[in-house]
Amino acid sequence: MSIDPRIMKSLLQLQMLPSLDLNGNENVLSTTTGADGSSMFDTLLQQYMAGGTGGVSTTDERSAYANMMPTNGLNSLMPMLSSMNAQPDSNSGDSAGYEAWIDQAAAKYGIDPTLIKAVIHTESGYDPNAQSSSGAKGLMQLMDGTARGLGVANSFDPQQNIEGGTKFLSYLMRKYGGNEEAALAAYNAGPGRVDRAGIQTDSDFRSLMSRLPDETQRYVTKVLNAKSGYSA
């Protein structure tokens, strides 16, 4: 199971709070015990590990945990649990510093700027120095050979990377007739692999995605979800 580091960090921060706050209230995660003697922290962590739904992330889940806690500690703990949802992922980055270059590339190559932002968000979390184990570099994670073909001399230069990545994305959108899901699959897995899978349209992608790596299937979903967030 993949553990969301934001949830783990929040649980650990709560566990590390002093056993008494300035008002004399106990830290219920440390002091409250169940029938088996386990602390509330242990219980929350075990349920999170077993749940597979992303941890303390929904109103129903927070309410369920609330019912397990004594009232005297609930008032101080619930705001912190609620804040887990509101806190942005520290790795997700911020597009603000790159807006001008994104808009410029979007206009030049006819690509929706929210799609560019979503690709950057998913590829690198807006870290211009990101480098994958396979050698992909920069904001839009360009491989060296691809970067050279796109005229990118330095993939760690944000402006060059956005220009090159958007140019490549534009090529893929044209190749697949504006079918976004097919183009995104090709951005991740390569157009050759997508073509061999028999995918040319979004409908093809949905029916034949099992022919592509799981990573690519997840990638397309992540980018589209991120795009929805930037479009809101």
- Match 């479009």 to its residue by tokens: 231
Q: How far apart are CA 154 and CA 168, in angstroms?
A: 16
Task: Using the CB atoms, write b or e for 164-199: b if 16+ within 10 Å.
Answer: bbbbbbbbbbebbeebbbbbbbbbbbebebbeebeb
Provide the residue count of the chain: 232
Active site members? 123
Q: How far apart are CA 100 and CA 89, in angstroms?
A: 23
Q: For residues 140 and 164, is the Cβ–Cβ distance under 8 A?
A: yes
DSSP 131: B
Identify any residues that bridge with 20 across adjacent strands, giving them in sequence order.
26
Supply 89's token pair: 């992922």
- Match 């739904």 to its residue by tokens: 53
Q: For residues 227 and 123, is the Cβ–Cβ distance under 8 A?
A: no
Q: Which amino acid is at 180?
A: E
Supply 57's token pair: 């992330």
Q: How far apart are CA 37 and CA 74, in angstroms?
A: 19
